[in-house]
Amino acid sequence: MEQSAGQAGPAETMIAAIARYWWAFLAAGIVWVLIALAILQFDRASITTVGVLIGIMLILSAFQNFALGAMVGTGAKWIWWLFAVLLLVGGIIALMSPENTFAALADILGFVFLIIGVFWTIDAFVSRGANPLWWLGLISGILMVILAFWTSGQFFIEKAYLLLVFAGIWALLHGITDIVRAFQLRALGKAV
């Protein structure tokens, strides 16, 4: 079926609907940049901010698992809801004691980096046939594994500062990405 020149197809209608909310991405990006500035000050507020962010991420993941459990058939629904309850409890505990959450994450930072590095390395080999830049993932994975072993040998203070640096840089890049995405959506909305 052909569309007439004056009618918008379903894809264009959906893009126009999403593009109307470009300002939400801009606002979220600004908030992430402000969070990054708070984290990168390396004070008590930075530690609390990271702990609260971890709690919020756990709670949002719990709601996502509740939703996925509701969409899944009757067989495995309980697994999604079990993880949702565990994530929700973890998020509430993290929000109740963000400083302890930060300390716990700093203690296991080397293990977290090791898990990420192994995942990136495996993902690089799995996507080798479809991704011509698979070797970048492999190099990143290997570097993350090396960072994991280096971090594990550090004292708590160094781990804490390293965690703050990574969290701050992540929040800053997340904010910049959201701001760029906002203006891309705005331009896309004007084009449609």
Q: What is the pLDDT of residue 80?
A: 82
In terms of residue numbers, what domain contains 22?
A: 11-47+98-191
Give domain status of residue 173, yes or no.
Answer: yes
Give domain status of residue 68, yes or no.
Answer: no
User: How many structural domains does the chain have?
Assistant: 1
What residue has token string 């090791």? 114
Q: What is the pLDDT of residue 1?
A: 45
Q: What is the pLDDT of residue 66?
A: 85
CA angle 64, 67, 71 (to 5 degrees): 135
Helix axes 156-191, 10-19, angle to 10 degrees: 120
Q: What is the pLDDT of residue 77?
A: 80
Q: What is the pLDDT of residue 7?
A: 65
Q: What is the pLDDT of residue 6?
A: 54
Give domain status of residue 92, yes or no.
Answer: no
Give domain status of residue 106, yes or no.
Answer: yes
Give domain status of residue 23, yes or no.
Answer: yes
Give domain status of residue 34, yes or no.
Answer: yes
Give domain status of residue 149, yes or no.
Answer: yes
Q: What is the DSSP letter of 51?
A: H
Cα(41)–Cα(15) distance, integer angstroms: 39
Q: What is the pLDDT of residue 89?
A: 95
Q: Return the SS3 of 73.
A: coil
b (16+ CB within 10 A) / e for 5-24? eeeeeeeeeebeeebeebee
Give domain status of residue 58, yes or no.
Answer: no
Question: What Cα–Cα distance (Å) separates residue 146 from each residue in 35, 86, 111?
Answer: 28, 31, 11
pLDDT in tens, the chain (192 residues): 445 555 667 777 777 878 888 898 899 889 889 888 888 887 777 888 888 988 998 898 888 888 877 777 667 788 888 988 998 999 999 999 999 998 888 888 888 889 988 988 998 898 888 778 888 889 988 988 998 888 888 777 788 888 888 888 888 888 888 898 889 888 888 887
